[in-house]
Structure 1
Amino acid sequence: SGSSARARSACTGARPEWPRAMAAAAAGAAGGSTPAAVQKEGEEREGEGRRVRRRLRGKSAAGASPASAAAPAPLATPLLRRPAGPAVGAPLRTLVINLDRRTDRWAAVQRRLAGLQASGLLRVERLAASEGTREGDVPEDAVLRRWSTDRNAKYDGRPGARPGVSLEMTAGERGCAMSHVRAWRAAAAGAEAVLVLEDDAVPSARLAGRLPALLRAAGGTADVLYLGYIKGAPWRRKVALGLFEAEYLWTTVAYVLWPRGAQKLLAAMPVNQPVDNFMAWEASTGRLCALAVVPLLVDQEQEWDRGSDVPHSDDVLIG
């Protein structure tokens, strides 16, 4: 990832009080455990899950971060200060991307999110997903039909993955990208962060305890905060306890998007590769400030390549 390593980070203005505030929250919730112990446990569990699930993509030397790794005790939610703007107190608007024909998935994800919505943490809305098969459903000025593997190949370590291949995106990939574009437009039109979920998202029991503090910690600088992902490159830096700046992450199962981040993604259109690659590339070049939580707070119901409604165009290279 040589070219991206030289890119200037978009994550500027990190505040020195973040580590202290997040560490204090962790120590209090862990029954007196030191921040270092809490962080060490999270990193050990991430590594354990990574070893078990390395087969997922064999992505890069960094390996894939697990979406189902076990986790330490929930963290508390301190009232961290953030730059002037609306407070992080109201329920977080949550857009769940769901195909009209997948009423089963919509019912299932509603059940999984019911407690978070009842507690006042989330305000869940359904966002109708695009199939990508109907004429005019996905305008080409929003999502291109073909993509080059050049960018993703810098990070994809799977046998068969190689640069310089032009592939036609599947209808599912284009529809998925268009669905996320609609979510970006919704986020850009508002004043607050929006949580974007795909309908196979499975929230961790730790999400309720950690999310408010993470929003306050990340909100001053981040464009996007990944709650679920597959890690394609080493972290750029540690921002705070359990919060890292990401260079390249796969999947779009769960991320918090601030209006400024949504505006950056919309300005970078058309989407010229699968949407998770597109977002990851914007981060790798330093145009998008992407943070990620460790350990993960959202899993996928099934592995990324099993039971998906979105066929992957680069599967022809991997076999």
Structure 2
Amino acid sequence: ILCQKSGHLVPPQVSDEDVNNGLLEPTVFIAILARNKAHTLPYFFTLIDELDYPKNRIAIWIKSDHNEDATPDILRAWEKEVGEWGKYHSVSVQITDSPPFKQDDQGESPVTWTPKRFRLIIRLKEEAIRLARKFWADYIWFLDADALIVNNQTLKHLVSKEKPLVAPMLLSGGMYSNFWGGMENYYYVRTEEYKEILEYKKIGCFPVPLINTAVLMDIRRRDIPTFERFNESIPEDDMILFAENSRRLNMTMEICNDLEYGYITAPIEDTSTLQRDYDQVAILRTEVASYWAKPLESLPYLKKFLPKDNRPSTIGFDKVYLINLQRRPDRLMKMHNVLQILGIEYELVDAVDGSELKPEDLDRMGIKQLPEYRDPYSDRPMKFGEIGCFLSHFKIWKMMVKNHVNTALILEDDIHFEPYFVYQIQRLFEEAAKLFLDWDLMYLGRKRSANANEPFVEGSKYIVHVDYSYWTLGYALTLRGAKKLLDAKPLERLVPVDEYFPIMFDRHNNASWMKSFETRDLKAFSAEPLLLYPTHYTSEPGYISDTEKSPISILNCTIKDEL
């Protein structure tokens, strides 16, 4: 590879800082192939720049060809900028200008994988290995331009493992990842272990038959795998060839999920357009915004290449309400970022903080627990956090009635949106309108009961009749539904809000509780499949419940509705 400044092949330079730190970090040659990745490259390069690894121990080699988008412009802008920085040991960007925009066997779609494309990829990766060894690099790291390495400790952590072939597990927002759990006759086979690794039920580094991106290979060894097609029965696929060459040398590929590392776009159909790939990046942006301290960002000089976000709207509802505790600005920041990416305009509703409620406050507000209520699992009265949660939703119902809000989407602040959320919710309510569905409440996220009987609404593909359910993560509510929930005077016989809903649509499994509410005619349904889930479950790291950790209340007071 040519050094950026001198134009000559030179060994990595040793700085005073390196000497003072003792042992030098191994040198890493990052090989990147980019085609039609203008929608990922600004994020990709930002994350590469943020890697906590000495940049003078990194050489970056990029090849790009047959682009139909702004990929060449982004690569040139980035190359110019990093050349002025002088941070990396060396940078080489080689672009085959377009047109031609496609290889001659590609057809109409720019994302089609053809034999000529595979052969080109194989040739370029072989070239990368040769150059990396000529460069005296210790490792080569094959990175696709849509592999978003969010954890800036990734490279340092992988190198420290000193494994011959290792990669970080990358998530996609679904069941796809950058490794195969099984392979039979060169075809992908999903295994139980694949799911266990993907869902972090097993944590560590695990041998797998194939890894398709982000493989870090130790090239200090005499024999290393290549992309040679040593058997005509092997498909002419770069990663299958690499996996088979690894097996031939008795070298094990390992995928690691001991940390959360980053994301990868899911593959799309060969006949798809680039827009479908743009949608995949939007999914990853919501994933990062939901689970990481900051959303995906772009280096300032690359922002101009990013597609514009959708103009914010209430996506067909009169209002979108977001409930957030003022002492949880972390959740608000994440939800704000996610809703901004999704193009959803919302009104913030300050939650009633149960941790600040005292018995005299409940007495003053005239709140009284349903005498028969005991928590079904722990046999206790309501907690202050559950009371605060109910009052937060109650506040919104009153706002809807006061302001004549016909339809509202109500969201809590610890939720995870399913991919294509906006499209799916619009499709859901378009179907409801076509069916003339008479509804008050539509669950979008909930916990189903184990023995639920929930048939689809006649003629529907996406809506079911709802049975007893838990959680109020997110739901749509009509003005009529809000009035019904208020008219039942729930503060006079309070239960948790996720118990109140099934009572009001007459599907609760506790008949004595239901008898306390004479009118139970709320017309409730649910999206199927669900569109919202919790960001964390009770057994997972990072799970915090502001309701469950609050103290138990004692409710024995009279009623004065002062909300």
Output the TM-score relative to the length of structure 1.
0.60
> Is 2:456 aligned against 1:238?
yes
Amino acid at match of 2:502: A
Would you say how many aligned residue pairs link Structure 1 and Structure 2?
A: 218
Alignment CA distance shift 1:194-1:146 (3 Å): same
> Is 2:341 aligned against 1:129?
no
Amino acid at match of 1:107: M
Amino acid at match of 1:212: Q
Amino acid at match of 1:289: K
Aligned to 2:446: 229
> Is 2:480 aligned against 1:260?
yes
Q: Structure 1 CA distance, aligned partners of 2:521 and 2:551?
A: 25
Are the aligned partners of 2:319 and 2:405 in contact in 1 as well (CA < 8 Å)?
no
SS at match of 2:416: strand
SS at match of 1:97: strand
Q: Select which of 374, 385, 391 maps to 1:172.
A: 385
Are the aligned partners of 2:315 and 2:422 in contact in 1 as well (CA < 8 Å)?
no
SS at match of 2:456: strand
Are the aligned partners of 2:352 and 2:388 in contact in 1 as well (CA < 8 Å)?
yes
Alignment CA distance shift 1:291-1:185 (3 Å): same
Q: Select which of 529, 545, 548 maps to 1:311.
A: 548
Q: Select which of 519, 528, 539 maps to 1:294.
A: 528
Are the aligned partners of 1:245 and 1:292 in contact in 2 as well (CA < 8 Å)?
yes
Amino acid at match of 2:398: R
Q: Structure 1 CA distance, aligned partners of 2:364 and 2:499?
A: 18
Alignment CA distance shift 1:114-1:276 (3 Å): same
Unaligned runs of 5+ in 2: 1-194, 200-268, 270-275, 277-313, 508-519, 553-563
Amino acid at match of 2:464: F
1:269-318 alpha-carbon deviations (Å, 9 max, x no partner): 22521110111221235521111111111111111673111117899xxx
Amino acid at match of 2:389: C
Aligned to 1:113: 339
Tell me the CA shift for residue 216 of structure 1.
3.5
Q: Structure 2 CA distance, aligned partners of 1:265 and 1:304?
A: 29
Q: Map of 1:166-205 to 2, 5 A cutoff? A: 167-189=380-402, 190-205=404-419
Aligned to 1:214: 428
Tell me the CA shift for residue 184 of structure 1.
1.3
Aligned to 1:148: 372
Amino acid at match of 2:368: L
Amino acid at match of 2:545: S
1:232-258 alpha-carbon deviations (Å, 9 max, x no partner): 142343111121010211100100011
SS at match of 2:326: coil
Aligned to 1:94: 320
Q: Select which of 242, 263, 275 maps to 2:497.
A: 275
Alignment CA distance shift 1:140-1:292 (3 Å): farther
Tell me the CA shift for residue 187 of structure 1.
2.5
Alignment CA distance shift 1:143-1:115 (3 Å): farther
Alignment CA distance shift 1:236-1:182 (3 Å): same
Are the aligned partners of 2:339 and 2:345 in contact in 1 as well (CA < 8 Å)?
no
Alignment CA distance shift 1:89-1:104 (3 Å): closer
Are the aligned partners of 1:187 and 1:257 in contact in 2 as well (CA < 8 Å)?
no
Alignment CA distance shift 1:217-1:174 (3 Å): same
Q: Structure 1 CA distance, aligned partners of 2:400 and 2:421?
A: 21
Q: Which range moved further: 106-115 or 188-197?
A: 188-197
Are the aligned partners of 2:319 and 2:346 in contact in 1 as well (CA < 8 Å)?
yes
1:208-250 alpha-carbon deviations (Å, 9 max, x no partner): 1121232243364111111100011423431111210102111
Q: Structure 1 CA distance, aligned partners of 2:430 and 2:444?
A: 15
Q: Structure 2 CA distance, aligned partners of 1:296 and 1:139?
A: 38
Identity %: 25
Tell me the CA shift for residue 191 of structure 1.
3.7
- 4+ residue stretches of structure 1 with deviation over 3 A? 88-92, 134-143, 145-150, 216-220, 312-315
Q: Structure 2 CA distance, aligned partners of 1:123 and 1:289?
A: 27
Alignment CA distance shift 1:292-1:91 (3 Å): closer
Q: What RMSD in Å do the two structures reach over aligned CA positions?
A: 3.3
Q: Structure 1 CA distance, aligned partners of 2:318 and 2:417?
A: 14
Q: Structure 1 CA distance, aligned partners of 2:547 and 2:465?
A: 28
Amino acid at match of 1:148: E
Aligned to 2:3: none
Alignment CA distance shift 1:138-1:255 (3 Å): farther
Alignment CA distance shift 1:277-1:129 (3 Å): same
1:119-169 alpha-carbon deviations (Å, 9 max, x no partner): xxx32111000113245765776743466347x75xxxxxxx49xx5x321
SS at match of 1:183: helix
Q: Which range moved further: 175-184 or 135-144?
A: 135-144
Are the aligned partners of 1:97 and 1:128 in contact in 2 as well (CA < 8 Å)?
yes
Aligned to 1:15: none
1:2-29 alpha-carbon deviations (Å, 9 max, x no partner): xxxxxxxxxxxxxxxxxxxxxxxxxxxx
- Which of these two proteins has the greater Rg computed from alpha carbons? 2
Alignment CA distance shift 1:143-1:238 (3 Å): farther
Q: Structure 2 CA distance, aligned partners of 1:144 and 1:197?
A: 26
